[in-house]
A and B are shown apart, each in its own frame.
Chain A
Amino acid sequence: MAEMTFGKAINAGLRRALERDPKVVLMGEDIGRLGGVFRITDGLQKDFGPHRVIDTPLAESGIMGTAIGMAYRGYRPVVEIQFDGFVYPAFDQIVSQVAKLHYRTRGHVRVPLTIRVPFGGGIGSPEHHSESPEAYFAHTPGLRVVAVSNPQDAYSMIQQAIASDDPVVFFEPKRRYHDRGEVDEGIGLEGPGGLSMGAARVAVPGEDVTLVSYGPLLKTCLDAAVAASDEGVSVEVIDLRSLSPVDYPVVEESVRRTGRLVIAHEAARSGGLGAEVAASITERCFYHLEHAPVRVTGFDIPYPYSKIEHHHLPDLDRILDGVDRALGRPNSLSGLEEGE
């Protein structure tokens, strides 16, 4: 066990992956000598050389397409997208090429590509630096999409994502990079803890309400569970980890017990993960629901300037409010919504 920051945990996981497999190469903008704008690749070029940790020209589609070609050639590329908002130039290569290559070559060509995306808001960034684009990728067949919420998962799941023979879009909550946590470095690809990037995790057990989240909001949800327990409400918090595919059995088992579901994410509401989870759980266990699923999300607006981003980002109060709504209790929206 070692205490480390979230960012350091990813760095350590990348280091393990580079050590384990000589075919693993890191590619991205400023990831070499600088160690990336968030320093996630700090020291890796020095230790593994410029052939393994490659500073690329500033061209996201170019990086992605080049990484695909390296996968053809037998490599296991790990691409760093500098900021969430700059994954879009690579969108075509990801959606039309990365996601389909295994399928269209009948498995002859595998694309064991990991696309690391620092995502989400809350750090006062300029425009295009606080996006939550996960739903675009979760909607794309052929991609695995994961989001990490704590240093241990970050350390283990980055290694699992790299070892996966499928392409993985790996979302890192940049506002949590400096959070510290205990990391058991024995839990790598498949550690004694049984940590798996595909398996949702019950972060806090509870009985009254199931609160589902991932990435940056998980910590806020844990805080919400503590605050709710002060009022005698027992909240079960589930960390999805994998956004595509979603590990529905874990969520379903919980909702069958609690009868109430709240989903929280920073991304805009419409067409988001919350909608997907709400619909799927409703299909799976409609008669166990005591209340309609509740979404607590960012608004359907372009990400606002940072002076007011706290209005957009779901915080403790909004999540607690969602819990109240799921319980059918009076809440800040009472009177606004029909039937509440």
Chain B
Amino acid sequence: MQRVQGLGRSGAAGSAAPPVPELPAVPPMTAPELREVYRLMSSVRRLDEAAVAWQRQGILPAYAPLLGQEAAQVGSAFAVDRERDFLFPTYREAGVARTLGVDMVEYMSTHRATWHGGLWDAAEHRLAPIQAVVAGSVLHAVGWAHGQRLAAASPGDPQDPVGGLGVAVAYLGDGASSQGDVHEAMNIAAVFAAPVVFFVQNNGWAISVPTERQVAGGSVAARGAGYGMPALRIDGNDAEAVVSATRRALAYARAGRGPVIVEAVTYRRGPHSTADDPGRYRTLDDERRDAGADPLERLRARLLGEGLANEAFVAECDAAAAAEAEAVREGVLALGPRPGAEMFDLVFAEPTEELLRQKAQWRKESEHG
């Protein structure tokens, strides 16, 4: 038998995969930063609980609560550079939107069923619209990030990033990690060395299916090695751990070294959505056992315990959160339906003749209806 000499471009069969690079270290968070994260998390907790109540009151047709994921959402969004990064949320990222300063009435318009995807200007707020297709926008983050590289490669581009690349952050869940698009996204990002952070909130559940029936090998971060991509698996209920991990990932991507996975292990404390009935697939005992410490209480205990904040600060955060939620409620109640003509006018940059005909027909019919 002929001996196989050198396996050419595929490399020798016995050789190990190249080691995955290390992520840079970042300094610990300062006390003002920790207080700011706490303030944001209080606000998000209050809004999220309020939104569930609004659904029960008939104000919102549906809502997807993020209870228990405040540290993961606020921490990751807090770490980004709001001038140059760009984030791609799922349908459960109210905490991310709030941290980026999106108007939460405009955010809630989706749940109020007055506009798909939300009313905010994606480009202005650096936040893509709400994505209801599981894993639907993970690839978009890769494309945005690749565009960032192309811009850097063509001097004179008005958006040419100075002092490092803008980074795209793709939010996805443990369930989403089963989608083929997530593999395509991670592979393409790694091949192109695109500056993107895959921020996985592994909250234990995809509707009724637990992570162990979803993620082979038990960890999305573990896949990073296969793509030659650094990956961190962190306590997603520890706000500082989330901020630091995201900062490390962003620094690496910003330097043009390529994509990173951050898997924040957390817990979906509430139902999948206001239409869900978790009693059919998990017990209250399961929830008590699996949820771990509440991320908001954890941060509060730390701030108070280490003397980084006092009770007055906590009370002030609570009061501000309550006032904010009330203002959002009023705004949501005032959200009427959009002008019906928009159905036709926004399909294309310019409506087609056929759409104008159908619009005229709709007007006539609805006037006589």
A23 CB to nearest B CB, Å:
9
Q: How far is the CB of A98 from chain B (nearest CB, A)?
A: 10
Interface code B118-151, partner A: CB below 8 Å = 1, 0 otherwise?
0101111000110001001111111111111011
Residue pair A102, B117 in contact (C-beta under 8 Å): no
Determine if B17 is an interface residue (Cβ-Cβ < 8 Å).
Answer: no
Checking A77, A96, A166 against B349 with a beta-carbon cut-off of 8 angstroms, the contacting residue is: A166
- B148 smallest CB distance to A (angstroms): 7
Select one of A74, A93, A96 contacting B147, CB under 8 A: A74
CB-based nearest A residue for B187 = A57
Q: Number of B residues contacting the other chain (C-beta, 8 Å)?
A: 48
Q: Judge whether A110 is part of the interface by a CB distance below 8 angstroms.
A: yes
**Do B143 and A66 touch across chains, with their CB atoms under 8 A apart?**
yes
CB B197 to nearest CB in A, in angstroms, measures 14
Q: List B contacts of A245 (CB < 8 A).
A: 352-355
Contact A102 to B346, CB < 8 A, known contacts A51-B154, A65-B142? yes
Q: Within the complex, what minimum Cβ distance (angstroms) separates A57 from chain B?
A: 5
Bits for B326-369, please: 1 = Cβ < 8 Å to A, else 0: 00000000000000001000111100111100000000000000
Q: Which residue of chain A is the closest to B119 with respect to CB atoms?
A: A106
Q: Is the CB of A68 within 8 A of B347?
A: no
Query: Are A62 and B117 within 8 A (Cβ)?
Result: no
Given the known interface contacts A102-B348, A110-B349, the answer about A57 and B191 at a Cβ–Cβ threshold of 8 Å is yes
B-facing residues in A41-100 (Cβ within 8 Å): 51, 56-57, 59, 61-62, 64-75, 77, 92-93, 96-97, 100
Report how far A70 CA is from B151 CA in the complex, Å: 11
Contacting residues, chain B, for A100 (C-beta < 8 A): 116
A214: shortest Cβ distance to chain B, in Å? 17
Report B130 CB to chain A, min CB distance, Å. Answer: 9
Complex contact A108–B123 (CB within 8 A): yes
**Bound CA span A108–B106, Å:** 14
Question: What chain B residues lie within 8 Å of A248 (beta carbons)?
Answer: 353-354
User: Which residue of chain A lies nearest to B139 when distances are taken between CB atoms in the complex?
Assistant: A65
Q: Is the CB of A72 within 8 A of B144?
A: yes
Give the distance in Å from the alpha carbon of A69 to the alpha carbon of B181 in the complex: 14
Asked if B144 and A106 make an inter-chain contact with CB atoms under 8 angstroms apart, the answer reads: no
Does A22 sit within 8 A of B, measured CB to CB?
yes
Whether A69 contacts B349 in the complex (CB less than 8 A), given A57-B187, A104-B117, comes out as no
Does A141 have its Cβ within 8 Å of any Cβ on chain B?
Answer: yes
- A93 to chain B: which residues have CB within 8 Å? 139, 181
- Measured as residues with beta carbon below 8 angstroms from the partner, the interface class of chain A is 35 or more
A107 CB within 8 Å of chain B: yes
Q: Which residues of B contact A259 (CB under 8 A)?
A: none
Q: How distant is the Cα of A93 from the Cα of B140 in the complex, in angstroms?
A: 10
Q: Is the CB of B141 within 8 A of A69?
A: yes
> Could you name 27 residue pairs across A and B whose Cβ atoms are closer than 8 Å?
A57-B191, A61-B180, A62-B142, A62-B187, A65-B139, A65-B181, A66-B139, A66-B143, A68-B143, A69-B142, A70-B143, A72-B86, A72-B122, A72-B140, A73-B159, A96-B133, A96-B136, A97-B136, A97-B140, A105-B122, A106-B346, A108-B122, A109-B128, A109-B129, A166-B348, A245-B352, A245-B355
B interface list, Cβ under 8 A from A: 86, 115-117, 119, 121-124, 128-129, 133, 136-148, 150-151, 153-154, 157, 159, 168, 180-181, 184-185, 187-188, 191, 342, 346-349, 352-355
What are the 5 tightest A-B residue pairs by CB atom distance, in nearest-first order? A69-B143, A65-B139, A73-B147, A62-B184, A66-B143
- Where the two chains meet, the residues of A that have a C-beta atom closer than 8 Å to any C-beta of B are 22, 25, 51, 56-57, 59, 61-62, 64-75, 77, 92-93, 96-97, 100, 102-110, 141-142, 144, 164-166, 245-246, 248
